[in-house]
Structure 1
């Protein structure tokens, strides 16, 4: 078993697609397939089930993914430790972000950082807000970005941007022609919403409660794990939905959704890092690009002296 085989396996497992994994790693598809085949042949196990064009992890594959991810994480941390002694900014910056941020806000900032620091390899994972916070707390990632405030004594939190949630419905929904939606009537519609742990869902429910809406009485037609799935379900007329204005914009412009006139408060996009973990130079540089300059405490100053 080689480090390269593990790297390919993890990429394929996370994407559940050999071609996409090969493209991300900048290798031939045949090379990725061969690496997986070698692992399966050497240990006489099946790591993936082939289901049409899709692949799914087997029980053996799930067991290997946990160990392989831990090994790769340790290697990355070792590389980061050495890169701290280099004159040039290099290494890997691994960030994890909730869906709205990862899809609509963060890519442009990562691209600008890459242009300024070409020696840094960038990696991003996408999860919901709770999963991102958990990843930062366990040290799986150095930097997280979430869509709702996370109150935890072990986390350093920095607001980095503002976002506004809106309520949208399909054109034939009774709310499409309203001039104002009374919060007390919000429970009269079916709703499509994100899963538990989603920052969008949490922020909307908190805002609706503050406005006097009967959130517990909402009729939930469907619960979905992505912004795009919620948007598509709302377009199909399954119910009202709350989402970022950035997510809704293409459908609003195309006339596939209508903006329901109810004022929701702004929410913050938040950068998270572990308080007990000294930020690497790459993390410090990226936060600085976002306008965040952290004071170095006495303990850190002594360690740098």
Structure 2
């Protein structure tokens, strides 16, 4: 029994499909099949049922999955420790980030990290806040980057300066030229929003609640799973949205979007790590790099409540 065989077994057990597992492992299907067969032979037990063109885990296979995953996790942890001993001259860092952060904020940070530590392999998976939290909790990511508040006792979180939400609509919409908008006016507008579970939507809804308003009263005409889809629908006139100023910047610059006069508090991003797992030197180096631009700046306490939405004092854009 080898670590490579365990890795192949876990991949096949998750996919329940030899070809898809082979693609994920960058192996041929025949090599994957041979690895599984060799593992079954060494154990003397069948781990999969072959039912026509389908495969299913046997009872032994089901029982073996968590054990194999645990061995692979320990091997990865041992590899990380050894990589640390090489002084950041080798190793890997698995990251997971919410869409806004991954697409608009994290890229320059990772580019600087790669310039400083070119031999550290970086991988980034994109998900919403709920998915990122689960990945860090389950050990599939060394660090997670999210926009929303996370209450997870197993995770340690660090606040870093983030962005600001803005209320935008299509430049030609009926409410694009309003000179004043009160929070209660939001309930008269059609809205295009990210899906439940996204950090952007959570922060928007928390701001409404802080103003004594119930988000359930919003007229949501579309729920879409990406920032780009939301911006595209809003620019086409589907309704207004509240979204990161990083996401809205291009549309505001080209004139397809118009920022409406309602302000939101500055938003913090959060870096998550598992409190009980080994925090590698690579992860520490990335955290130090993230803190550099904000050196000397004050970061609000992580337990602070969201400030209410409010009207701007002037029409000047920041």
Q: TM-score with structure 1 length normalisation?
A: 0.74
Does residue 256 of structure 1 match 2:249? no
Q: Which residue of 2 aligns with 1:267?
A: 267
Shift of 1:74: 5.9
- Whether the aligned pair in 2 keeps the contact of 1:192 and 1:222 (CA below 8 Å) is yes
Q: Deviations over 1:141-193 (max 9, x none)?
A: 11111112213332211112221000111123222001111111111111111
Which whole-Å CA distance do the structure 1 matches of 2:110 and 2:55 have between them?
35
Q: Which residue of 2 aligns with 1:279?
A: 279
- Whether the aligned pair in 2 keeps the contact of 1:96 and 1:132 (CA below 8 Å) is yes
Does residue 243 of structure 1 match 2:243? yes
Shift of 1:86: 2.5
Q: Which residue of 1 aligns with 2:43?
A: none
Q: Which residue of 1 aligns with 2:142?
A: 142
Q: Which residue of 2 aligns with 1:296?
A: none
Which whole-Å CA distance do the structure 1 matches of 2:94 and 2:206 have between them?
30
Shift of 1:39: 4.5
- Whether the aligned pair in 2 keeps the contact of 1:186 and 1:214 (CA below 8 Å) is no
- Whether the aligned pair in 2 keeps the contact of 1:40 and 1:46 (CA below 8 Å) is no
- 1:129-168 paired onto structure 2 within 5 Å: 129-168=129-168
- Whether the aligned pair in 2 keeps the contact of 1:146 and 1:269 (CA below 8 Å) is yes
| Count of residues in Structure 1 that have an aligned counterpart in Structure 2 | 262
Q: Which residue of 2 aligns with 1:35?
A: 28
Unpaired runs of 5+ in structure 1? Answer: 26-31, 48-57, 294-305
| Gap change, CA 1:94 and 1:175, over 3 Å in 2 | same
- Whether the aligned pair in 2 keeps the contact of 1:90 and 1:282 (CA below 8 Å) is no
> After alignment, is 69-78 or 236-245 more displaced?
69-78
- Whether the aligned pair in 1 keeps the contact of 2:192 and 2:223 (CA below 8 Å) is yes
Unpaired runs of 5+ in structure 2? Answer: 38-49, 296-318
Which whole-Å CA distance do the structure 1 matches of 2:223 and 2:55 have between them?
27
| Gap change, CA 1:128 and 1:74, over 3 Å in 2 | farther
Shift of 1:241: 0.8
Which whole-Å CA distance do the structure 2 matches of 1:282 and 1:84 have between them?
7
- Whether the aligned pair in 2 keeps the contact of 1:89 and 1:282 (CA below 8 Å) is no
Which whole-Å CA distance do the structure 2 matches of 1:76 and 1:182 have between them?
53
- Whether the aligned pair in 2 keeps the contact of 1:137 and 1:274 (CA below 8 Å) is yes
Q: Which residue of 2 aligns with 1:230?
A: 230
- Whether the aligned pair in 1 keeps the contact of 2:168 and 2:258 (CA below 8 Å) is yes
Shift of 1:35: 2.2
- Whether the aligned pair in 1 keeps the contact of 2:88 and 2:281 (CA below 8 Å) is no
| Gap change, CA 1:215 and 1:139, over 3 Å in 2 | same
Does residue 125 of structure 1 match 2:125? yes
CA-based RMSD of the aligned residues comes to 3.4
Which whole-Å CA distance do the structure 1 matches of 2:102 and 2:51 have between them?
35
Q: Which residue of 2 aligns with 1:189?
A: 189
| Gap change, CA 1:196 and 1:107, over 3 Å in 2 | same
Q: Which residue of 2 aligns with 1:55?
A: none
Bigger radius of gyration, 1 or 2? Answer: 2
Q: TM-score with structure 2 length normalisation?
A: 0.71
Which whole-Å CA distance do the structure 1 matches of 2:109 and 2:205 have between them?
29
